[in-house]
Chains A and B, each alone.
Chain A
Amino acid sequence: MNKGLIITLPQWDNVTEYLSQFSNLIIKEAEDKGIKTKTLNGKSVNKPNFEKVIKNLNYNFVVFNGHGSPSCIKGHKDEIIIEAGDNEDLLKGRIVYARACEAGAMLGKLCVKDDDNGCFIGYNLPFVFWADKTWDSVPQKDETARLFLEPSNMVPVSLIKGNNTYEAHKNSKMHILKNIKREIKKNTINTPMIIEGLLNNYYGQVLLGNEKAYL
Chain B
Amino acid sequence: MKERSQSDKENETDERIKELVLARIDAQVPSNLRLFIGSSNGMNKEQIMEHVRKGDAVGKQIIQMHINFMKAVVKGEVTNLINSVQDE
The count of residues in chain A whose C-beta lies closer than 8 Å to any C-beta of chain B is: 34
Enumerate chain A residues within 8 angstroms of B24, measured Cβ to Cβ.
192
Enumerate chain A residues within 8 angstroms of B76, measured Cβ to Cβ.
none
Enumerate chain B residues within 8 angstroms of A203, measured Cβ to Cβ.
68, 72
Is the C-beta of A134 less than 8 angstroms from some C-beta in chain B? yes
CB 8 Å contact bits of B50-88 with A (1 = contact, 0 = none) = 000000000001001110110010000010011011001
Closest to B42 in A: A14
Enumerate chain A residues within 8 angstroms of B84, measured Cβ to Cβ.
177
Contacting pair A133 B32 (CB below 8 A): yes
Is the C-beta of A1 less than 8 angstroms from some C-beta in chain B? no
The count of residues in chain B whose C-beta lies closer than 8 Å to any C-beta of chain A is: 29
Taking A177-B82, A177-B84, A190-B33 as contacts, is the C-beta distance between A197 and B65 under 8 angstroms?
yes
Binding site for A on B (CB under 8 A): 24, 28-30, 32-42, 44, 61, 64-66, 68-69, 72, 78, 81-82, 84-85, 88
Binding site for B on A (CB under 8 A): 13-15, 18, 67, 101, 125-134, 144, 174, 177-178, 180-181, 184, 189-190, 192-193, 195-197, 199-200, 202-203
